[in-house]
Amino acid sequence: MDNTETSGLRQRLKQSRAFIFSLIAIAAIWLVSAMSEHKAYREHYKLYYDGIDTAKYAITGIDSILTLDITSNGFHAFQRGIKKNRYVHVNVTSKITNKDADNIQVTLNIDDYIDIIRSQIDTRGVNEIKPVGDILNIALARRQSKVFVPEIDNIDFQFDPMVGLCGQPELHPDSIVLYGSQSSLDKIEYVRTEPKTIKNIRISGMHRVRLANDWKKYPDVRPSTEYIDIFIPVETYTEKPISVAVQYANDNSFKRVQLYPSTVTLNCLVPRKKYADVNSDDFVVTAKTINDTSNYLMPVVTQFPANVRIKSISPQQLQYIIIK
C-alpha cells in the first residue's frame, strides 16, 4: 500500500469517527431534552389500612393497590422506577361506622387522603400527583365470638429453695375471646398455654406466657390476645417439726390395736409468716396396712393445710399389738 492509499484510509477513518461522535452528541442532546420534559408516569403503591380491628372483622373485599399518575421529568422518573417496596398507610378508624353490623362497607374518597398520601412518598422533582380513580372500597364482615377460660397447660414452675407457691396462680386476662366464623368456632373446645418452664421464682410477680396456636388451624379465627400474664404468688418457707398423734383406720379385721409409737414427727415447710399458726391440730395422720403379710403399719398424712409442704415423716413404719 503506497502513501496515497494510506493517507486516504486515514482520512476516511477520521470522517467515520467524526460522524459517530456527531451521532452520539445528537442522541445525548435528544435524550437530555426528552428526559427533561415533564410527563405523567404511572406508579403503583401497596395500600395498608390502619385502624381495622382484624380480630373482630374479617376483610372480605379490599382495594389493596393505589395507582397514581405522577408528573415529573424523566430523570426523576427513572430514579423512582428503580425503587422497591412502595407502600402507603391510610387510617380508616373514623370511617368504620355501625360497628355492630354483621357486614360493613367502607368507601373512601381518595381526594380526602391525597395530602396524607403525598406526605408518605418521595416528591422530589414531582410537579403533580393525581390518583387514578376516585374511591377506595373495603368490605368487612363482623366475626362471631366465643369466650374461653385459658387453661394453664404444661407450665413448670421452678422455685428457689425454701420458696413455694402460696395460693393459686391468677390469669390476666382471665378470659380469651376468639373471633371467627361460627363453623370454625364450633370446632374449638379450649384455649391453652404453650409449654414453658419458669425458672428461679423467688418473689411474687407476673410472668408472660404465649397461648398455644391451636386456633391457627382455622384461617378465619383471631384471638383477642396471643399472650396471657400469670401472677404467681409465693411464700418464703421455713422448716418446722410437728408431732401428730396417729389414728388407726379400722377395717374390721380386728377391733382395737396399740401403736408403737403412737405419734409421728412431720418435718414440714411452713410459710414464715404463718409459722406460729400451724400446729398439730391442722394435721391428720392415719395408720394403714402396708400389705397382708407385713407386720407393720404405715403412717399416712391424710389432712394438712394447703400452704404447708410435707418433707418427711418419722418413723415411716409403726409396730402394733392387737388388743382383744
**Shared domain check, 276 and 216:** no
**Shared domain check, 154 and 68:** no
The answer to the question of residue 98 being in a domain is yes
CATH number reported for the structural domain that contains residue 187 in this entry: 2.170.120.40
pLDDT at 162: 87
The domain boundary, picked from 142, 172, 194, lies at: 142
The answer to the question of residue 319 being in a domain is yes
Are β-strands 170-172 and 227-232 bridged in parallel, bridged antiparallel, or unpaired?
Answer: antiparallel
**Shared domain check, 162 and 117:** no
The answer to the question of residue 32 being in a domain is no
Rounded distance between C-alpha atoms, residue 284 and residue 302, angstroms: 6
Q: CA 290: distance to chain centroid?
A: 51
Rounded distance between C-alpha atoms, residue 99 and residue 83, angstroms: 38
The domain boundary, picked from 118, 142, 166, lies at: 142
What residues in the chain have per-residue pLDDT under 70? 1-19, 21-23, 25-38, 73-85, 250-255, 292, 324
Long-range own/partner contacts, residues 120-126 (CB < 8 A, 24 or more apart): 120/88, 120/89, 121/45, 121/68, 121/86, 121/88, 122/80, 122/83, 124/76, 125/72, 125/73, 125/75, 125/76, 126/70, 126/71, 126/72, 126/76
How many domains in the chain?
A: 3
The answer to the question of residue 18 being in a domain is no
pTM over 0.75: no
- β partners of residue 119: none
What is the H or E stretch that residue 128 is in?
strand 126-131
Amino acid at 19: F
pLDDT at 144: 85
**Shared domain check, 315 and 304:** yes
pLDDT at 323: 74
The answer to the question of residue 20 being in a domain is no
Report the SS3 class of residue 78. Answer: helix
Rounded distance between C-alpha atoms, residue 65 and residue 243, angstroms: 79
The domain boundary, picked from 200, 232, 264, lies at: 232
**Shared domain check, 148 and 136:** no
CATH number reported for the structural domain that contains residue 275 in this entry: 2.170.120.30
**Shared domain check, 93 and 180:** no
In the numeric block, which cell numbers belong to residue 127? 410537579
**Shared domain check, 257 and 222:** no
The answer to the question of residue 19 being in a domain is no
**Shared domain check, 271 and 195:** no
Rounded distance between C-alpha atoms, residue 167 and residue 235, angstroms: 9
Enclosing domain of residue 55: 38-142
Amino acid at 276: A
**Shared domain check, 165 and 112:** no
pLDDT at 206: 93
Tell me if 173 sits within 8 A of 225, measured CB to CB: yes
Neighbours of 90 (CB within 10 A): 20
